[in-house]
């Protein structure tokens, strides 16, 4: 094989490698963008779960308060013997 042919083959291989590297870079950018979106979605999900948990805690505190008021009211009602 002549030196000229080897040079053209190498040039062809370099061009193919450049195209492959460009494609890999494009896919890497897409992956990073998808990862960033997933991270934002996870943060929003955590915020919503925290909000729901806070609401449940508040609701349980209100139930306990209502129960205690009902219990003290029931204790203050005199029971009439039959």
Predicted pLDDT at 27: 98
Any idea how long the chain is? Answer: 82
For residue 82, pLDDT beyond 70: no
Q: How far apart are CA 56 and CA 48, in angstroms?
A: 12
Q: What is the pLDDT of residues 18-50, one digit of tens each?
A: 999 999 999 999 999 999 999 999 999 999 999
Task: Tell me the whole-structure pTM to 2 decimals.
Answer: 0.56
């Amino acid at each position: 094989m002549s030196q000229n042919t080897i040079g053209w083959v190498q040039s062809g291989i370099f061009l193919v490698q450049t195209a492959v590297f460009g494609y890999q870079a494009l896919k890497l950018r897409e992956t990073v963008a998808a990862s960033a979106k997933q991270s934002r979605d996870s943060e929003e999900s955590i915020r919503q779960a925290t909000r729901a948990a806070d609401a449940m805690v508040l609701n349980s505190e209100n139930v306990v308060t209502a129960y205690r008021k009902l219990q003290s009211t029931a204790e203050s009602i005199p029971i009439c013997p039959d």
